[in-house]
Amino acid sequence: MDKRSKYGVKTVTILILAVLVLIIASINKNTAYILLSLIAAANLVYVVYYEINKFRFEKQSALIYQNRIKKLMNIVSANVVIWTEDKKNLILNDKLRELIGRSIEGMSNEDIINYIFPHGYMMHDGLDAMLSGEVKEFPLRVNSSEIRYYAWNTTMLIDGRNGKYIISIGFDVTENKVIRQQLNIMNNSLSASERRYALAMDLSEIGIIINEHCEDVFHISEELQKMLGICDESIKVSDFVQRIHKEDRLLFETYLKSAHRIEANDNFTHSMEIRVLSSGDVYKWYSYRYKRINTGNFGMPVIGGALIDISIEKEKDLLIEKMAYIDNVTGLNNRNKLMITGQELYDCCSILDFSYWVIVIDIDRFHIINDTCGYNNGNRLLKDFARLLNRKKGKNGFVSRIGADNFVIIVKDCDAEKGPDALIAEIQNEFSFFGNNHSYNQSLSCSAGFSKMPSDGTDFVSVFEHAEFALSICEKRRSVIGYNSSVHDAIIKGTAMEKALADAIEAGELELYYQPKISLRTKCIMGVEALVRWVKPDGEVIPPDQFIYVAENSHLITKIGDYVVREACRQNKRWQDMNLPNIIVSVNLTSEDFYQKNVKEFMSDILSDTGLSPDWVEIELTESLAMKDIDFAVGQMQELRNMGLKIAMDDFGTGYSSLSYIQKMPITLLKLDRSFIISLEFDEVAQEIVSAIIKIAKSKKIETIAEGTETIGQVDILEKLGCDYAQGFLFGKPMKASQITEYLRKSTRLSIPAENIL
Ligand code: C2E
Ligand code: MG
Ligand code: MG
């Protein structure tokens, strides 16, 4: 029965009793009195009954109420605690109970509340603080070991019947708190690093440049304004470029152009060293580091750069650089510097659409000048030549000395039609007068090979090598050869040639020809030089110049070497066995033949196989071959000499060695190169050189032979100069072994000088 119907029953009952009392009182007053007492007793009984029922009912409804609340508390995912102000009653939702678990077993309600909301806080700030509407955060020890953090929202619930309840809802904020703590730490360290950064900037004196969206201005930091002596926060890019030293300007402009390319996508930090006109109107060295960032604003970049004054370090660097990159004879850049600068220029070419000529120049017969005029005069000539090249290189040119008498000059290609020939001709002309103006007493000349950058190679090294290659195929003095595709074709042709040569060796198409060597004293043949030929089945004879270089670049050269030396020795033994006059057979060795470790074994095997005495064999080596590794070469020569073989220095005067080197080598014969002999009759300088060489050789007990002797006039001069032997077309071209047999037969039978045999 609900409350309302109970009150209705009670009112109706009292009304009925009141009407009954009035009726009875009108009949009998006593009976009415008794009835009134009865009603009063019944009323008391009712009230007691009602009050008992009411208590039972309220207890029941409080339980119902609590159950409902509990259900509600468990629906929410937060922790919920409800307690009364006096802390006597307490309800925890299941989540919270589970979380705290055994930690609160046996605790009083008050202790539990103090456990959830730290006692200190409750004591100090009191409940009012919790009810203030603010979210309060407290740590809570859960599962007896772990501490987690909860943000509690506390509200007072006033239930008219049940009194005041306090409800606190707590959310787990542990993760947030950790993140907040980390952020705090980061924030603290960030601001600390910002402070450090600012301090470092102050101390390190770094100037900052910003260039946004390819604008024509650089925004510059206060420090940079101080460094450069500028009173403005920005400077026009062109004005800044003007402040850069003219030698560094190209580098900077190249960078600027590539950094401003919209399509560029480069997030790297680049750096360069430049000189910039600074406060006090002096150039200072700066390390410029820059980075480009694409802002996504239509790909327009922002370029940030930092300039650090490195003038002091640079001074030290320049000293070291001087030692590492400067040639100490001429003061020019050396090979190391050439390689670095060459590649920088190559890179500029690709970006700025420039081209350069790379010219390698060689002073013809420089070592002879060195030998005949003395080392100091040689050095003086190199210095003068360096000055000449420096004058000729122009504003943006570069000059370097890369070897004894080898120079490189890099000049901008201003007139694609003309090429560098005019410049080289100027250099050659001016150089030829050096002999008159100085005490060199020589007619001076130089040769050059050149290539174009960037079109003649994939990088600077390849362009440079092509120029060197062009120089290497210069045969005459004062030559100029440009690298071109036909030269390239020749290289490619070499590959096809290699295959054909391999087949020819297998098929036995190699044959030895022999050229007589004549004694200028007796005019009799004293030896022959074995010269290899490739005789094709159709009778075509290919000279060695056309295939030796191919063989040298492959394993074929060892096969050729073995064939030549073996066949030459066998042939000489045959001549000896035919009782013809004993002659010396010379063989040409290549670098591969000579530098092999077992050259001694190689020669002694052949000698013992053929039965020829070493006295009748001469090894011809070229200067460049011997100079490759002079110490090792001298050792190898000594070994061969110890075996009793003779050693000749071939083509003397064309290579890089000097007489002073030759004197260190245990050689027995010096073969004067044909280029001296050709001009002997008309060129006094050539005569002087030949004379000097012969004298020095004689003083060292080294015999001399003139290669390429073609005229009687040459023979006369050679005789006068004291040359021992001659070899050349005058006495006989290279010929088959059978012709030499005849030659030898005639010379013994008739006992007449060679000149009369021919
Ligand atoms: P080389 O050893 O200096 O040989 C001398 C070259 O000069 C020979 O050319 C010879 O024909 C040529 N010659 C000799 N006298 C005269 C002359 O009066 N006028 C002119 N214009 N030329 C003359 P060849 O036979 O064509 O040989 C060229 C080079 O090939 C040789 O120069 C040598 O370096 C190399 N060679 C020849 N045969 C062999 C060989 O069997 N092995 C090796 N490794 N190299 C060889
Ligand atoms: Mg030779
Ligand atoms: Mg020669």
Predicted pLDDT at 125: 65
Ligand 1 pocket residue status of 397, Cβ below 6 Å: no
Residue with the larger pLDDT of the pair 308 and 474: 308
Q: In what order do the strands lie in the sheet with 234-236?
A: 234-236, 217-220, 206-212, 301-309, 282-294, 269-278
Ligand 1 pocket residue status of 734, Cβ below 6 Å: yes
Predicted pLDDT at 741: 95
Question: How many whole angstroms from 514 Cα to the centroid of ligand 1?
Answer: 10
Predicted pLDDT at 265: 59
Residue found by looking up tokens 């050689």 in the block: 667
Measured by CA distance, the residue closest to atom 13 of ligand 1 is 708
Contact 21, 39 (CB under 8 A): yes
**Of 84-98, 143-157, 202-216, 463-477, which gets the smallest average pLDDT?**
202-216
Give 689-703 pLDDT, tens digit per residue.
Answer: 899 899 989 998 999
Task: Report the residue count for the chain.
Answer: 758
**Of 11-20, 207-216, 619-628, 658-667, which gets the smallest average pLDDT?**
11-20
Which tokens in the block code for residue 466? Answer: 């092509």
Question: pLDDT at residue 139 above 80?
Answer: yes
Ligand 1 pocket residue status of 541, Cβ below 6 Å: no
Q: Compute the mean pLDDT over every residue in the chain, rounded to the nearest whole number.
A: 82
- Secondary structure letter of residue 581 according to DSSP: P
Give the pairing of strands 480-482 and 446-453.
parallel
Question: pLDDT at residue 150 above 90?
Answer: no
Atom of ligand 1 nearest to the CA of 620: 2
User: Which stretch of DSSP H or E encloses residue 609?
Assistant: helix 599-610
Question: pLDDT at residue 75 above 90?
Answer: no
For helices 684-699 and 366-373, the axis angle rounded to 10 degrees is 60
pLDDT average, residue stretch 324-342 = 89
Atom of ligand 1 nearest to the CA of 590: 44
pLDDT more than 90, % of the chain? 33
Ligand 1 pocket residue status of 618, Cβ below 6 Å: no
- Secondary structure letter of residue 210 according to DSSP: E
Contacts within 8 Å (CB) and 24+ apart, 429-432: 430/388, 431/363, 431/385, 431/388
Predicted pLDDT at 86: 78
Question: How many whole angstroms from 556 Cα to the centroid of ligand 2?
Answer: 19
pLDDT average, residue stretch 469-481 = 81
Most confident of 55-69, 259-273, 564-578: 564-578
Residue 646, strand partner residues: 618
Question: How many whole angstroms from 212 Cα to the centroid of ligand 2?
Answer: 69
Question: How many whole angstroms from 619 Cα to the centroid of ligand 2?
Answer: 9
Which one-letter amino acid corresponds to residue 434? F
Predicted pLDDT at 11: 55
Q: Where are the alpha helices (DSSP H) in 156-173?
A: none
Question: pLDDT at residue 94 above 70?
Answer: yes
Count the Cβ atoms, other than its own, within 10 Å of residue 198: 10
**Of 172-176, 603-607, 753-757, which gets the smallest average pLDDT?**
753-757
Predicted pLDDT at 410: 95
Ligand 1 pocket residue status of 592, Cβ below 6 Å: no
* Whole-structure pTM value: 0.46
Sign of CA pseudo-dihedral 528, 531, 536, 538: negative
Residue with the larger pLDDT of the pair 58 and 588: 588
Which one-letter amino acid corresponds to residue 461? V
Question: How many whole angstroms from 671 Cα to the centroid of ligand 3?
Answer: 7
Rounded to an integer, what distance in angstroms lies between the CA atom of residue 717 and that of residue 699?
Answer: 20
Query: What's the Cα-to-Cα distance from 235 to each of 216, 243, 253, 284, rounded to whole Å?
Result: 9, 11, 16, 18
Q: How far is CA 324 from the centre of its chain?
A: 19
Ligand 1 pocket residue status of 710, Cβ below 6 Å: yes
3-state secondary structure string across 265-323: CCCCEEEEEEEEEECCCEEEEEEEEEEEEECCCCCCEEEEEEEEECHHHHHHHHHHHHH
Question: How many whole angstroms from 729 Cα to the centroid of ligand 3?
Answer: 13
Summarize the chain as % helix, strand, coil (round to 5). 50, 25, 25
Residues whose CB is less than 8 angstroms from the CB of residue 705 and which lie 6 or more positions away in sequence, other chains included: 517, 648, 669, 670, 671, 672, 723, 724, 725, 726, 727
